[in-house]
Amino acid sequence: MGLFSKLKAVLTKTRDGVGKKLNEIFAKDKLGEDFYDQLEDLLISSDVSVKTTMEIVDEIRETAIKEKCKDKDYVVELLKSELYDTINYADALEVKSPAVIMVVGVNGVGKTTTIGKLANKFVKEGKSVTIAAADTFRAAASDQLSVWAERAKVRIIKHSEGADASAVVFDAIESAKARNTDVLIIDTAGRLHVKTNLMEELKKMDRVVKREYPNANYYKLIALDATTGQNAYNQVEVFNQAVGIDGIILTKLDGTAKGGFIISLSYELEVPVVYVGTGEKIDDIEDFDANEFIEAMF
Partner 1 sequence: MALFSGLSDKLNHIFSKLTKHGKLTELEIKTAMREVRIALLEADVNISVVKEFVAKVSERAVGQEILKSLSPTQQVIKIVNEELIALMGSTNSKLTFTNPPTVIMMAGLQGAGKTTLVGKLGLMLKKQGRKPLLVACDVYRPAAINQLKVVGEKAGCTVFEKGQGNPVKIAKEGVAYAKSYGFDTVIIDTAGRLQIDEQLMQELEDIKAEVNPAEILLVVDSMTGQVAVEVANTFNKRLEVTGLVLTKLDGDTRGGATLSMKAVTGKPIKFCSVGEKLGDLEPFYPDRMANRILGMGDVLSLIEKAQEAVTEEQAKKMEKKFRENSFTLDDYLTQFETMNKMGGIKDVLAMLPGMGGKFKIREEDIDEKQMLRTKAIIQSMTMYERENPSVINSSRKNRIAKGSGTTIQEVNRLLKQFEQTKQMMKQMKNNRMFRF
Ligand X SMILES: Nc1nc2c(ncn2[C@@H]2O[C@H](COP(=O)(O)OP(=O)(O)OP(=O)(O)O)[C@@H](O)[C@H]2O)c(=O)[nH]1
Spell 37-52 as b/e; 16+ CB within 10 A means b: ebbbebbeebbbbeeb
Say if CB 245 and CB 224 are below 8 A apart: no
Q: Provide the minimum distance between the beta carbon of 280 and Mg ion in the complex, in angstroms, as a whole number.
A: 13
Q: Of 24, 58, 143, 287, which lies in the binding site for partner 1, with binding defined by CB under 8 A?
A: 143
| Identity of the residue, 212 or 237, whose beta carbon is nearer to partner 1 in the bound complex | 237
Q: Provide the minimum distance between the beta carbon of 105 and ligand X in the complex, in angstroms, as a whole number.
A: 6
Q: Provide the minimum distance between the beta carbon of 130 and ligand X in the complex, in angstroms, as a whole number.
A: 18
Amino acid of residue 60: I
Give the max Cα distance, the chain. 67
For the four alpha carbons of 32, 35, 41 and 47, in that order, the dihedral sign comes to negative
How distant, in Å, are the alpha carbons of 42, 50, 90, 246 from that of 252? 20, 23, 22, 20
Radius of gyration (C-alpha) of the chain in whole angstroms: 21
Q: Does 106 bind partner 1 (CB under 8 A)?
A: yes
Site string for Mg ion, 72-111 (x = CB under 5 A): ---------------------------------------x
Q: Provide the minimum distance between the beta carbon of 225 and Mg ion in the complex, in angstroms, as a whole number.
A: 12
156 by DSSP, 3-state: which? strand
Distance CA 288, CA 48 (A): 18
Site string for ligand X, 274-293 (x = CB under 6 A): ---xxxx---x---------
Q: Provide the minimum distance between the beta carbon of 43 and ligand X in the complex, in angstroms, as a whole number.
A: 23
The string of DSSP codes covering 132-149 is EEE--SSTTHHHHHHHHH
140 interacts with, out of ligand X, partner 1, Mg ion, none, CB within 5 to 8 A per kind: partner 1
Q: Of 25, 95, 119, 141, which lies in the binding site for ligand X, with binding defined by CB under 6 A?
A: 141
The site for partner 1, by CB under 8 A, has a size of: 43
* Span near partner 1 by CB under 8 A; candidates 65-73, 165-173, 179-187, 225-233: 225-233
Q: Which residues contact 64 (CB under 8 A, 6 or more apart)?
A: 31, 74, 75, 78
Q: Which of 45, 41, 21 is nearest to 229 (CA)?
A: 45
Q: Of 46, 86, 112, 130, which lies in the binding site for Mg ion, with binding defined by CB under 5 A?
A: 112
212 interacts with, out of partner 1, Mg ion, ligand X, none, CB within 5 to 8 A per kind: none
Residues that bind ligand X (CB under 6 A): 105, 107-113, 135, 138, 141, 190, 223, 251-252, 254-255, 277-280, 284
Residues that bind Mg ion (CB under 5 A): 111-112
